[in-house]
A = this chain, B = another copy of it.
């Protein structure tokens, strides 16, 4: 009630600069695996692919290098950041540390709005997870809601920096998850894990939720590493 009583706050929804859309489109294509790890990102190629000028393109790539989704070497252009098993393990480990820490700060601090966001996002996630058709569209829909659910859980954390780093690791982990084309979304019962996490959140049981999230993340990491190992031996 404190602010915006009646009048909508004037937040520009998203800056509609070409650079911004370039950033978002390329980012999505890297995380989804459409631009595979290690791929050379030739400017001309991207120009035709996205129908953009080189200026906005280079700016977008520069920003993506800050997210460590793109690597750059002077005078030799850009590359989709390579992946490795070691990196996957590192990311999994860091995500565990950051996400549990964020939860420790978030859960005891969550207000009604925090609870509402969790309930809503869990409901949407549940809907997707319980209808079992795993098409390619479903997968990216699942990613959206999975993301929102995990984000909602840490929403009570006050530390901006912790949330930023947690998100960085989450996005990195997502790329690995999608790259290794995990069918495990059903085989391992992810929904049961999410349900348990949800219940622990509603109970404000910090130790419980931390323990659940740790094994949840570890499970994902294990599946990713397994998939990468299989893939490597197939060639």
**A58 part of interface (Cβ distance < 8 Å):** yes
Residues of chain A in range 155-195 having any CB-CB distance to chain B below 8 Å: 159-162, 164-165, 169
Q: Which of A30-38, A61-69, A122-130, A143-151 is near enough to bind chain B?
A: A61-69
Q: How far, in Å, is A10 (CB) from chain B's closest CB?
A: 12
Chain B positions within 8 Å of A67 at CB level: 66
Contacts of A16 in B (CB 8 A): 74-75
Contact across chains for A74 and B169 when beta carbons are under 8 A apart: no
Interface size on A, residues (CB 8 A): 34
Interface-facing stretch out of A43-51, A86-94, A199-207, A227-235: A86-94
Q: Are B161 and A74 in contact (CB under 8 A)?
A: no
How far apart sit A198 and B164, CA to CA, in the bound complex (Å)? 32
Q: Which residues of B contact A66 (CB under 8 A)?
A: 62-63, 65-67
In the complex, are the beta carbons of B73 and A15 less than 8 A apart?
A: yes
CB-based contact A94/B161 at 8 Å: yes
CA distance A169 to B58 in the complex (A): 26
Interface string of A75-104 (1 = CB under 8 A from B): 100000000000100110110010001000
Residues of chain A whose beta carbon lies under 8 Å from any beta carbon of chain B: 12, 14-17, 19-20, 55, 58-60, 62-63, 65-68, 73-75, 87, 90-91, 93-94, 97, 101, 159-162, 164-165, 169
